[in-house]
Amino acid sequence: MILMAQVRGIFETNAYFYIDDDTRHGFLIDPGAQADELLKIIGEHDWTIEKILLTHGHFDHIGAVPELQARLNVEVCMQSNGRTYAENPVWNLSSYFGDDMTLDNVTYLADFSAINLSANANFGVQMIPLAGHTTDGAIYYSAADSVAFVGDSIFQGSYGRTDFPGGDEKILFANLKSRVLTLPDDTVLLSGHSAPTTVSHEKFRPWFM
């Protein structure tokens, strides 16, 4: 199952639980704030979170990670370029809001890694690198459930900003065209700041055409 939780720090961000119904184990994607609320959801459903997956290293997607990491003793994963964002408050943008933060004990994933549950090796996602919004951008794609967790790379009717450190509009457009909009048309795209959309809908947006 997939459950979206809107969490609010300085900005409102969509965090996602992607859970295997059979084992009640799963992943938590982009916990940007409100660790207590996310822990409450986990407890209410009696879920076991095996990994926290990050689509990129901006503070509004990683803000609750340190507390969740400590409380759940859970592995935190991001694309290999994420080290710059994890360790640098300027790059993760937290310094702009007067609250410098960094991440420790992060697992940096090789591009196109398969990430599967220990409790069920048949349940998982593939990490597909998608630089452009940031240098460490990534999406997590499940062919089995026709869903991709896309962070801030693409939104319903729009796409991610490229004016932050590491952003590059040309690279973002190229990657969206080759790595998102080539997925099956019925793939649901779950972003960090918009309602869900699908590949088929976004293929016909003016910016893509």
Domains of the chain: 2-202 (3.60.15.10)
Q: What global pTM score does this model have?
A: 0.96
C-alpha triplet 42, 44, 46: angle, nearest 5°? 65
- CB within 8 Å of 7: residues ≥ 6 apart: 13, 15, 31, 32, 33, 34, 37, 38, 64
User: And the tokens for 209?
Assistant: 């055409």
- Owner of token pair 């199952």: 1
Q: How far apart are CA 77 and CA 130, in angstroms?
A: 15
- CB within 8 Å of 209: residues ≥ 6 apart: none
Tell whether the torsion through CA atoms of 6, 9, 13 and 18 is positive or negative: negative
Residue 209 pLDDT > 70:
no
Could you read off the pLDDT of 22-70 as tens digits, one per residue?
999 999 999 999 999 999 999 999 999 999 999 999 999 999 999 999 9
DSSP string, 8-76: ESSSEEEEEEEE-TTT-EEEEE---S-HHHHHHHHHHHT-EEEEEE-S---HHHHTTHHHHHHHHT-EE
Question: Quick check: 9 and 193 in contact, CB under 8 A?
Answer: no
Q: For residue 95, which of 45, 119, 59, 52 has the smallest C-alpha distance? A: 59
Could you read off the pLDDT of 135-186 as tens digits, one per residue?
999 999 999 999 999 999 999 999 999 999 999 999 999 999 999 999 999 9
Could you read off the pLDDT of 65-121 as tens digits, one per residue?
999 999 999 999 999 999 999 999 999 999 988 889 999 999 999 999 999 999 999
